[in-house]
Structure 1
Amino acid sequence: MKEALHVEWTKLRTLAGTAWLLAGVVLLTVALGVTASAACADTGCGDPAKTSLTGIAFGQAVVAVLAVLAVGGEYSTGMIRVTFAAVPRRSTVLAAKAVVVGALVLVAGVAAVLVSVMAGRFVLAGDGAALSLADGPVFRAAVGSVLYLVLVGLLSLGVATVVRDAAAAIGVVLGLLYLFPIVAAVVSDPDWFKRLQRISPMTAGLAVQATTNLDSLPISPWAGLGVLGLWAAGALLVGGLALRLRDA
């Protein structure tokens, strides 16, 4: 496992786009969070913490691209055969990729969330919104947002392992994340609307950001993040099976 981790870390570290994608996660998340906080300061908002973390819903797209390329890029170039020759146990390769991708997204996520919350605290200071990580709900929203990005990365990695084509895998992941809320929005039946929100990886997962009016949520914060965790675990499980049953 140690050798596999070193191999995966070396590949991602030396890939030209990795640093840019990680920077993109931070910059996009912070920029959209600050924009939302500024708009909130002008019009008022009910949940300042969630508003400051609005950028997570868009930064996740960059995370998905990064995770997909960790697998899809190797299949497109044929480099995956070399990887399997060096580390014959394919489950170990997938586990190593998951650890490396998860660690990189974790670092970028922590940076993005910390800056977003601090920026939100500054922007919303005049609005009476005292954002502080010492506040339990705000801390939960911040930690949950970081974990959300990590789980999106693992979900994307699993999907890419199954699909193998980078472009198709990105399309599948973004469809899973963004189409569920769109479909739910056009459903007229309130019961089905809640069901779709509860199983949607994005809607359910982002429930962890809510710090006010928790009773109105379709699913509780940590349970919602658990739904996304199940999606990620399922994708990795299917991806692991696909690696074992199919040729490289």
Structure 2
Amino acid sequence: MRRHLHAEWTKLRTLPGTGRLLLTIVVLTAAVSVAASAVVSCTPAGCGYDPARILFFGVQVSQALVAVLAVTAISGEYGTGMIRLTLTAMPHRTGVLAAKAILLAVITLITGTAAVLAAALTARHLLLGNGFPAGMLDLMSGPNLRAAAGSVLYLTLIALLSLGVATAVRDSATAVGVVLGLLYLFPALILMISDAGWQRLLWQISPMNAGLAVQATTGLAALPLSPWAGLGVLAAWAAAALLGGGLLLRVRDA
């Protein structure tokens, strides 16, 4: 596994634009959270907003860049034909995919932590100025800490989901389209369907809706799933994608 990790790390860090993409994830997460914080306010009568969801709102946008990063980690090799050299040098295909998943998870954890921290620190000042109580914005409180850590894990699971999809479909554009479709199609369908039962079911199986429940710090009783259970739904999607991609990688020709 050490040889696999070294080889995959060399390829990942030498991909064109990887550094810029990671930096953009951090900047975009913070910028979108700041923009969201600038347009909400809390009155003496009540806030009506979950402050953690506002603080980490940028995750909903930057997840698309995380998906692009994960897709390019393997689909680029299919596009150039380098995958044949990779599998010739390291014929243990499951090990190749496992190494990619481990490195991608570590990089996303680090980048996601920086992004969430930047978003929290910059957006918090705006929310305080817009009337939100300091107690609601205590970043070390249990609910807010869970929302922050959960947002980082959310981005990491998005990366693993994207890697699995890209391994299965091979083509970069198709893989990104499938992942973004999975993320954004369910929320659109929920808005289009009037039946409450179907809305609840779609919410519960939606990778994005269920996964982002981990950011909730208010109104938890009204959620179709608890925060950690919602993140578990996304974890199941990621595991299924990696399993499917891994099986196809083993049985298909490079």
Same fold (TM over 0.5): yes
Aligned AA (1:129) = P
Contact 1:161 1:239 in 2 (8 A): yes
Q: How does 1:223-238 map to 2 (within 5 A)?
A: 223-238=229-244
Contact 2:71 2:176 in 1 (8 A): yes
Tell me by how many angstroms 1:119 deviates.
Answer: 1.4
Which residue of 1 is the match for residue 189 of structure 2? 183
Q: 2:42 and 2:71 mapped to 1: Cα distance?
A: 38
Q: How does 1:174-213 map to 2 (within 5 A)?
A: 174-213=180-219
Contact 1:204 1:225 in 2 (8 A): yes
Q: 2:212 and 2:228 mapped to 1: Cα distance?
A: 10
Provide Cα deviations, 1:29-86, integer angstroms capped at 9, x if missing partner: 1100001011113785521111110010010000000000011100000000111112
Which residue of 2 is the match for residue 123 of structure 1? 126
Mark the runs of 5 or more structure 2 residues left unpaired by the alignment.
Answer: none
Contact 1:162 1:239 in 2 (8 A): yes
Mark the runs of 5 or more structure 1 residues left unpaired by the alignment.
Answer: none
Which residue of 1 is the match for residue 56 of structure 2? 53
Tell me by how many angstroms 1:128 deviates.
Answer: 3.1
Which residue of 2 is the match for residue 89 of structure 1? 92
Contact 1:121 1:129 in 2 (8 A): no
Q: 1:200 and 1:135 mapped to 2: Cα distance?
A: 28
Name the SS for the 1:16 alignment partner. coil
The 3 A distance-change label for structure 1 pair 25 and 45 is farther
Q: 2:116 and 2:28 mapped to 1: Cα distance?
A: 11
The 3 A distance-change label for structure 1 pair 21 and 9 is same
TM-score by length of 2: 0.95
State the number of aligned residues. Answer: 248
Name segments (4+ residues, structure 1) moved above 6 Å: none
Aligned AA (1:106) = L
**Percent of aligned positions with the same letter in both sequences?**
59
CA RMSD after TM alignment: 1.1
TM-score by length of 1: 0.97
Name the SS for the 2:163 alignment partner. helix
Q: How does 1:47-196 map to 2 (within 5 A)?
A: 47-126=50-129, 127-130=131-134, 131-196=137-202
Q: 2:228 and 2:161 mapped to 1: Cα distance?
A: 18
